[in-house]
């Protein structure tokens, strides 16, 4: 499929940061070099190659990134596919942009082979080192992958499957961990279309039919809620109806025997208000207007998801008793839900704040270190594991590509774990000695077994032996984290060497 042709003006019009003359000049210069370098090159879709560079840059601009990242996006294929070298890019645009371009080139070598589990591990390592060095490299690669997926119909079926599998198994989960929900959802939907065409068509047709039937009462609920909120003195920045991404809908339907009537958040309303206090006031007003469905309130503002997502979700019986999901959040939360870590470049500029961060060379940067602490942990974890690829991949499958949960120590310290983690995983995350000496555990004050699967938000209390104790070999059967496994195995190696 050939997408509509765009120009550099479309990229500049979509800047979310201030359009200064310095930024515009840099972007236009990068475009001029890319256009000249790619002159005469065409893609399999038949479009001029420069269109791919422009769409990549457009996606980056929409995420709120700044001129250097957009310029690197325009130039990202130049050293690999043209006669212009990386050294020439550095000479014209500086080491920072050249570093990003080089990083994207390395990430371009990632491939899946055989089954979906068999990844080119060394290239994955490069990806994570790139993330730890400069997260913007990965954001450019996600923007690049988005346009590749949108034009995938031009490629033969075997390549469509391979690229879609890479997208579903590698790129969409990375977008999720970065909190870039908009990109994650689009990548999953585009890959779903090629990986399971039959179910893609089934779900999209069901969704269209359901939305057609529901639009009238959805519009009515939006109007009534807006009027009620304004009457109560709440400033409503935005209120609109929304539908679920087809792939996410399919995943939910599978859990309910493909019965769409059991999906409560197929359609919903999103309400954007100015601040956190307005979010909670809005929740009360929504519940006064429409009866809530018991047990369906989720407060991700007080307890955000591990990727930083914040919002209040509630399910209500709307007009004519129809079930609707309502999401309530601030404008910043909405931007961060769509564009994740990239949104911080926009807000940091507005707030004129500066932070020191581990993944940049410069000291004056704009994203709080805590926002990407997991990237730093991943880098340190790789160094600990060394070059054991099988252990790296096993840990990667469990700890990186799965959703994470938060649990708390009795003192209120937050411990991040993969889903299905146990009290033993929790204990080793706190301290190796606590793990080695663990004898029992409580979850929210109640005794649980050591193989208990911890739920998000629980307070976990580990009971320990006062006497020196070695861990049980049986724990290796159920622990989920590489940290717990390596500590247990280390304790037994130490014992056998005595």
Structure confidence by residue, pLDDT tens digits, 382-436: 565 555 556 655 665 556 656 678 888 888 787 888 888 999 999 999 999 999 9
Q: In sequence order, what DSSP letters do the residues of 351-397 get, joined into one string?
A: HT--B--TT-SSS-BSS-GGGGHHHHHHHHHHHHHTT-HHHHHHHII
> Sorting pLDDT into bands at 50, 70 and 90, what band is 376?
low
- Both tokens of 140, joined, read 């450019």
Residue 377 lies in a domain: no
Cα 235 to chain centroid distance, Å, stands at 30
**Top-confidence residue, 81 or 370:** 81
Residue 244 lies in a domain: yes
Q: Which residues of 75-104 are buried (b: 16+ CB within 10 A; e: fewer)?
A: bbbbbeebebebeebbeebeebbbbbbbbb
Q: What is the pLDDT of residues 199-232, one digit of tens each?
A: 999 989 988 887 787 888 889 999 999 999 999 9
Q: What is the pLDDT of residues 431-484, one digit of tens each?
A: 999 999 999 999 999 999 999 999 888 899 999 998 777 789 899 999 999 889
Strand order in the sheet with 446-448: 446-448, 438-443, 460-464
- Both tokens of 389, joined, read 């690829």
Q: Count CA within 13 A, CB hemisphere, residue 460.
A: 36
pLDDT > 80? residue 93: yes
Same domain, yes or no, for 42 and 172?
yes
> What are residue 133's phi and psi, to 5 degrees?
-80, -45
Highest mean pLDDT out of 71-80, 178-187, 259-268: 71-80
Place of tokens 């250097």: 68
- Position 306 scores a pLDDT of 73
**Top-confidence residue, 309 or 281:** 281
- Position 217 scores a pLDDT of 87
End-to-end CA distance of the chain: 66
Same domain, yes or no, for 206 and 231?
yes
CA–CA distance, 326 with 270 (Å, rounded to integer): 6
Same domain, yes or no, for 160 and 266?
no
CA–CA distance, 415 with 435 (Å, rounded to integer): 14
CA–CA distance, 484 with 476 (Å, rounded to integer): 8
Same domain, yes or no, for 187 and 257?
no
pLDDT > 70? residue 344: no
CATH code of the domain covering residue 262: 3.30.460.10
- Position 185 scores a pLDDT of 93
CA–CA distance, 137 with 156 (Å, rounded to integer): 28
Same domain, yes or no, for 29 and 53?
yes
CA–CA distance, 324 with 266 (Å, rounded to integer): 8
Domain termination site, one of 141, 171, 195: 195
- Both tokens of 218, joined, read 């959805």
- Alpha helix ranges (H) inside 232-364: 246-255, 276-289, 331-339, 343-351
Range of the domain at 90: 8-195
- Both tokens of 343, joined, read 């949104």
- Position 415 scores a pLDDT of 85
Place of tokens 């993330």: 131
CATH code of the domain covering residue 428: 3.10.20.30
Domain termination site, one of 338, 366, 383: 338
Same domain, yes or no, for 168 and 223?
no
Residue 381 lies in a domain: no
> Sorting pLDDT into bands at 50, 70 and 90, what band is 379?
low
User: Is residue 166 annotated as a catalytic residue, yes or no?
Assistant: no
Residue 289 lies in a domain: yes
Paired residues of 299 in beta bridges: 312
Question: Given 10, 24, 48, 81, which residue is catalytic?
Answer: 81
DSSP reduced 3-state for 105:
helix
- Position 114 scores a pLDDT of 47
**What element of type H or E holds 442?**
strand 438-443
CA angle 78, 81, 86 (to 5 degrees): 45
**Top-confidence residue, 262 or 165:** 165
Q: Which has the closest alpha carbon to 52: 69, 38, 67, 33?
A: 38
Q: What is the pLDDT of residues 53-72, one digit of tens each?
A: 999 999 999 988 899 999 99
Number of domains present in the structure of the chain: 3
Residue 482 lies in a domain: yes
pLDDT > 50? residue 361: no
Same domain, yes or no, for 304 and 221?
yes
- Position 51 scores a pLDDT of 96
Domain termination site, one of 195, 217, 248: 195
**Least-confidence region, from 29-38, 192-201, 237-246:** 237-246
CATH code of the domain covering residue 50: 1.10.3210.10
Residue 375 lies in a domain: no
Give percent of the chain with pLDDT exceeding 70. Answer: 81
Averaged over 139-153, what is the pLDDT?
93
Give percent of the chain with pLDDT exceeding 90. Answer: 49
pTM assigned to the model = 0.72
Same domain, yes or no, for 219 and 315?
yes
pLDDT > 80? residue 105: yes
Same domain, yes or no, for 142 and 184?
yes
Same domain, yes or no, for 169 and 244?
no
Averaged over 109-120, what is the pLDDT?
50
Paired residues of 324 in beta bridges: 316
Same domain, yes or no, for 42 and 111?
yes
- Both tokens of 463, joined, read 């009971």
Residue 412 lies in a domain: yes
> Sorting pLDDT into bands at 50, 70 and 90, what band is 380?
low
Residue 67 lies in a domain: yes
pLDDT > 80? residue 142: yes
- Position 469 scores a pLDDT of 74
Same domain, yes or no, for 319 and 333?
yes
Place of tokens 């909190």: 179
Question: Given 80, 209, 232, 275, which residue is catalytic?
Answer: 80
User: Is residue 80 annotated as a catalytic residue, yes or no?
Assistant: yes
């Amino acid at each position: 499929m050939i997408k509509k042709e765009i120009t550099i003006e479309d990229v500049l019009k979509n800047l979310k940061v201030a359009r200064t003359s310095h930024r515009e000049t840099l972007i236009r210069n990068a475009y001029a070099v890319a256009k000249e370098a790619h002159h005469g090159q065409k893609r399999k879709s038949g479009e001029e190659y420069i269109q791919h560079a422009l769409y990549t840059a457009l996606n980056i601009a929409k995420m709120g990134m700044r001129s250097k990242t957009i310029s690197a996006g325009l130039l990202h294929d130049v050293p690999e596919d043209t006669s212009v070298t990386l050294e020439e890019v550095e000479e014209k645009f500086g080491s920072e942009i050249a570093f990003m371009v080089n990083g994207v080139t390395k990430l371009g070598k990632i491939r899946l082979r055989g089954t979906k589990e068999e990844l080119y591990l060394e290239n994955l390592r490069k990806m994570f080192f790139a993330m730890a060095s400069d997260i913007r490299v990965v954001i450019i690669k996600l923007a690049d992958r988005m346009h590749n997926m949108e034009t995938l119909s031009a490629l033969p079926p075997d390549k469509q499957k391979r690229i879609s599998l890479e997208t579903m198994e590698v790129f969409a989960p990375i977008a999720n961990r970065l909190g870039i929900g908009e990109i994650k959802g689009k990548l999953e939907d585009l890959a779903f279309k090629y990986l399971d065409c039959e179910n893609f068509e089934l779900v999209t047709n069901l969704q269209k039919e359901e939305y057609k039937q529901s639009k009238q009462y959805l519009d009515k609920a939006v109007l009534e809620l807006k009027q009620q909120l304004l009457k109560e003195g709440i400033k409503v920045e935005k209120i609109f109806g929304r539908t679920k991404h087809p792939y996410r809908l399919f995943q939910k339907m599978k859990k309910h025997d493909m019965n769409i009537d059991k999906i409560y958040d197929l359609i919903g309303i999103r309400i954007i208000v100015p601040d956190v206090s307005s979010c909670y006031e809005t929740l009360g007003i929504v519940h006064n207007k429409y009866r809530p469905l018991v047990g369906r309130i989720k407060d991700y503002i007080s307890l955000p998801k591990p990727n930083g997502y914040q919002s209040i979700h509630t399910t209500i019986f709307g007009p004519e008793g129809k079930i609707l999901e309502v999401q309530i959040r601030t404008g910043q939360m909405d931007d961060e839900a769509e564009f994740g870590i990239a949104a911080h470049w926009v807000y940091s500029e507005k707030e004129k704040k500066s932070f020191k961060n581990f993944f940049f060379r410069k000291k004056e940067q704009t994203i709080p270190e805590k926002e990407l602490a997991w990237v730093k942990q991943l880098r340190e974890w790789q160094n600990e594991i060394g070059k054991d690829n099988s252990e790296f991949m096993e840990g990667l499958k469990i700890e990186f590509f799965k959703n994470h949960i938060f649990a708390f120590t009795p003192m209120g310290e937050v411990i991040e774990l993969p889903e299905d983690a146990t009290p033993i995983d929790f204990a080793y995350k706190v301290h190796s000695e606590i793990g080695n000496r663990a004898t029992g555990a409580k979850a929210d004050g109640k005794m649980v077994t050591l193989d208990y699967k911890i739920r998000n938000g629980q307070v976990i209390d580990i009971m320990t032996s006062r006497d020196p104790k070695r861990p049980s070999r049986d724990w290796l059967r159920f622990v989920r984290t590489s940290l717990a496994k390596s500590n247990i195995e280390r304790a037994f190696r130490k014992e056998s060497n005595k």
